[in-house]
Amino acid sequence: MFLSNEILEKKTISIILLLSLTLHIIASFFSIGWYGADEQSCVLEYLNSKNGFESNRCFYNYQNEDLITVQKIRSWFQPYIYFIISKITYPLHLFDGFKLTFILRLFSSIIGFWSLVFFYNNTKDHFKNHYAKKTYFFLTFLFWFFPFIHARTSQESLSISFLFFSLALYIQIHNNLNFKKYLLLGFLLTITFILRYNLGIALFFIIVWDLFFTKKSIGSKILGYLLILFSGSILLTIELFINVWGYEETILNIKDLFNLIIPLNFLIYGNVNPNMSQEPFYWYFIKIITDFLPPTSILILISILFFWIKKPISIITFVTLPFFLVHSFIGHKELRYIFPILALSPYFISYFLDNLNNIISNKIFLRKTLYFLFAVNLFALIFISFSSQKNQLNILKKIVNDENINEIYFINDNDYIKKYESLNPFILKNITSNFYFHFHTIKLKERINENNSKLIYSGFCRAGYSIGACVKKEQSKILDNKLFYKLKFVSEKELMIYLRNYKDFNLSEFNRIKLSNNSKEIFILTKNFNTLNQVKAIENCQIKYSNYPSFFSNISFNNINKRISYFSLFSCK
């Protein structure tokens, strides 16, 4: 049951739930691409390899095109689930990467929405006054973060959903021993752990809290732990066999077995990488405020700290505070690592307002501030639900699907391009898009004269030493303006991409290109703001496809036009 009519009308409840579910579905459709590199390389690329396509999997290290080492610290469990879905839904996608990822995002979003409903129903009575209860309902189902995170195919997405299931079920049964529900709890806790090993910290402290603060007898507690261990062991055994399938290895002795116990490998090797950036202890405090939708992020951080101080022995504190502290002491930090804590923001904010209700109700300024922050949240909710994470993929898709485009000039100011980034436009921030486009061959060549060229690099520019090798070869020769890519897709389409570097691309440079090209229509692709404006200034060059409306380049406020990641294709006649 949801809130009673005394707090919210059933019609209002139904509308909000329907709106939340609709926005989850919309985000699944529009949220193309990846938020973090791991979402692509550690999940979808694993799936891509099992579906029979070339892939660039994380922790698979290549020397040129030869696989040399595999660091087994990633579970194949989630890719396996997606593999099963991809096989069942094959007639709906036919291995089209865009259609398949929509199906996977929709699957993740529906599970995420379901987890919100389940968590809300088991925690809604934690608040005293009607204002806080209303706030909790609206924030739970209209928090900007949820359609975004639930539409991800990342480990963070599904692990947070199953953390919500686990925590809600535990809150429901923690003072009573129910055999079936404890077996289910063991399953949910274990799947949460398998999906994101870091969450083992939070799950461990659920057991610690249960040991010291529940009313069950010692015998009931021990029996409950045995039930959790039993169902959890079954799932961990299943994961082991999935990893055998994923890594394509056999278990012949104890050493082989330990090599495929991925949680153990992750614990030993997962955070040992000297190339990762190192941040100070307080980094998360700053990052929450600056990157988690300011100014609402200020209220979120205050609410989290307020809850930890006021409720030090709450199960929510035990789940979140140790998790936060451990990640604060780890040198390498990314905001997504603490997404499980930030996902509980509606709970923290509602508790904060529940305790300050008397102050807020008597202060018009405070009420208006909260209304303003909620309005910011709603704006972000709509914007993010309709946004793409990598809208460059939409432009690349149009280029590939356009039968009239067989060659393009990729023109940029090389000072704008990072030295570690590939110049291949189909590699976005060194993450391959092969999952979406399925290349057959990729060849980097250098033009010698009008009729001859030599091969510089052939391959998929994969992780490990290969990415460094092919990027260096691109960068070392780009200033000569003689490099080009020859891409051949599984669909048999071929696309020539001529790499050009100009500090100042003007009409005379364009005419040189025109003279060397017999086509009536020349296509120019750029991701550089200066080059974008220079091409726009050339007569008969019109934007054909762009990831942002052209007027964005004229918005100079706060340097918005220079900070946007453009990806625009021009048609020049």
pLDDT in tens, 202-244: 999 999 999 999 999 999 999 999 999 999 999 999 999 999 9
Kindly report the pTM of this predicted structure. Answer: 0.93
Model pLDDT for residues 59-93, shown as the tens digit of each residue: 898 887 788 889 898 999 999 999 999 999 999 99
Check residue 4 and give its pLDDT: 45
Q: Which parts of 383-438 are beta strand (E)? A: 407-412, 427-428, 431-432
Asked whether 47 and 434 are in contact (CB, 8 A), the reply is no
Asked whether 441 and 462 are in contact (CB, 8 A), the reply is no
Check residue 502 and give its pLDDT: 87
The one-letter amino acid at 332: H
Check residue 443 and give its pLDDT: 93
CA 544 to chain centre: 29
Sign of the dihedral defined by the CA atoms of residues 353, 357, 361, 366, in that order? negative
Low-confidence ranges of the chain (pLDDT < 70): 1-8, 268-275, 358, 361-362, 414-415, 463-466, 557-559, 561-562
- The DSSP output letter for 408 is E
Asked whether 426 and 397 are in contact (CB, 8 A), the reply is no
CB atoms within 10 A of CB 540: 11
Instruction: Single out the residue of 376, 382, 310 nearest to residue 24, CA to CA.
Output: 382
Report the C-alpha gap between 144 and 381 in whole angstroms.
4
Check residue 49 and give its pLDDT: 95
Q: List, as one string, the DSSP characters of 62-114.
A: EETTEEEEE---S-SHHHHHHHHHHHHTHHHHTT-HHHHHHHHHHHHHHHHHH
- Write 274-283 long-range contacts (CB < 8 A, 24+): 276/331, 276/332, 277/332, 278/331, 278/332, 279/331, 279/332, 279/333, 281/328, 281/329, 282/328, 283/328, 283/333
Strands of the sheet with 494-501, listed across from one edge: 453-458, 439-447, 483-489, 494-501, 407-412, 522-526, 568-572, 541-546
Residue in this structure with the two tokens 């100079």, named with its chain if needed: 556
Report the C-alpha gap between 289 and 298 in whole angstroms.
6
Alpha carbon of 316 to those of 213, 216, 344: distances in Å? 13, 19, 9
SS3 566: coil
CB atoms within 10 A of CB 487: 19
Check residue 1 and give its pLDDT: 41
